[in-house]
Amino acid sequence: MMQDTGESVSSAYVGLRARPNDAFPRTCVRCQCQFSDLDDFVANTSPIFRASGLMERDDPADGTVILLLRNCTCGTTLALRCEDRRDGTEKGTFRRRRFETMVALLLEAGVEPGMARAELRRMLHV
């Protein structure tokens, strides 16, 4: 999961779309709090373990699924299934491999994994 560093987390959700079966409005099963859209969901829930809550999962039926896990104000963990935003082309795969290589180099230099990824993302998106 990506570390929650304020601005980087809000940019983590750019272009994120809920899967059709997870359409809004969404309701917390415990406290009945309602969320009208993705922005409302992110703004009115809190990060899990100070991370973005984005997790990749392979689903045999649906392919790659991105889960967005956030905590409701009542403490219940809510999961939202989202569309994969990754570039599935050969060029996109090449860029992801190069990114992972750079992360590995930073890890060998003693940089913490979350910090290595966050700093690389910051440098690449400036």
The model's pLDDT over 66-114, given as tens digits with 9 standing for 90+, comes to 899 999 999 999 999 988 777 778 998 898 899 999 999 999 999 998 8
pTM above 0.75, yes or no: no
- Please give the single-letter amino acid code of residue 41: F
**Residue 10 pLDDT class (50, 70, 90 cuts):** low
DSSP SS3 for 85: coil
Q: Give the span between the Cα atoms of 82 and 67, in whole angstroms.
A: 6
The model's pLDDT over 42-53, given as tens digits with 9 standing for 90+, comes to 999 998 877 788
pLDDT of residue 5: 38
Least confident of 15-19, 62-66, 75-79: 62-66
Integer CA distances (angstroms), 9 to 3, 4, 50, in order: 8, 5, 10
- Taking every pair of Cα atoms in the chain, the longest distance, rounded to a whole number of angstroms, is 47
DSSP letter (8 states) at residue 126: -
CA atoms within 13 A on the CB side of 89: 4
Return the percentage of the chain with pLDDT > 90, whole number.
Answer: 39
DSSP SS3 for 50: coil
